[in-house]
Amino acid sequence: MKISLIVAKDSRNGIGKDNDLLWHLPADMKFFKETTTGHIVLMGRKNYESIPEKFRPLPGRLNMILTHNKSFQAPDCLIFHTVEEVLGWKEANKGDERTLFIIGGGEIYRQFLNTNQVEEMFVTQVDAVFDADTFFPEIDEAVWQRELVLEHSADEKNKFGFRVYRYTK
């Protein structure tokens, strides 16, 4: 089992505001869905609650949620209470060929990057600047190499253009 991360950020690393996304980009949502379907997604409790009820748990994926709240429950989701518990679960399931995708938000991205166990990142770079209150950490270009995997221009349905980079160490 590999740990990957997937995020969409603006030109200043903004990823969210008021527990919501900053943009509506169906083409990037499609990339997210195609990349993560059939795999495992791990999210913070706030990210989970920001997903409209009818869309959660994210279909076709094992949904895992991190919360300190021992009585928190969510239908058809696995609940974890520490980062170490998630890493222990990953170790116990290392023969599982699915990827464990860290899907945010900000607190979850930061803590998993600090574990140094993230092997791969898919980063959507949105060509705009927003008034964000949640940010992705600065990517250390000395540690991570990137390749362009998708480029999409602004169009009728996607107000902003974006590029998706795959980062590996």
Ligand X SMILES: NC(=O)c1ccc[n+]([C@@H]2O[C@H](COP(=O)([O-])OP(=O)(O)OC[C@H]3O[C@@H](n4cnc5c(N)ncnc54)[C@H](OP(=O)(O)O)[C@@H]3O)[C@@H](O)[C@H]2O)c1
**Interacting residue ranges for ligand X, rule: CB under 6 A:** 7-8, 15-17, 19-21, 43-47, 50, 66-69, 81-83, 103-108, 111, 134
d(CA 33, CA 104): 15
- In the bound state with ligand X, the residue whose beta carbon lies nearer, of 23 and 62, is 23
Q: Which DSSP category does 55 fall into?
A: G
Nearer to ligand X, 50 or 117 (CB): 50
Q: Which is nearer to ligand X, 107 or 120 (CB)?
A: 107
Least distance to ligand X from the beta carbon of 19, Å?
Answer: 5
Report the SS3 class of residue 94. Answer: coil
CA atoms of 10 and 3, how far apart (whole Å): 23
Q: Which residue, 39, 36, 20, 33, is CA-closest to 106?
A: 20
Nearer to ligand X, 19 or 145 (CB): 19
Number of other residues whose CB lies within 10 A of the CB of residue 73: 9
| Angle 39-119-135 from CA coordinates, rounded to 5° | 85
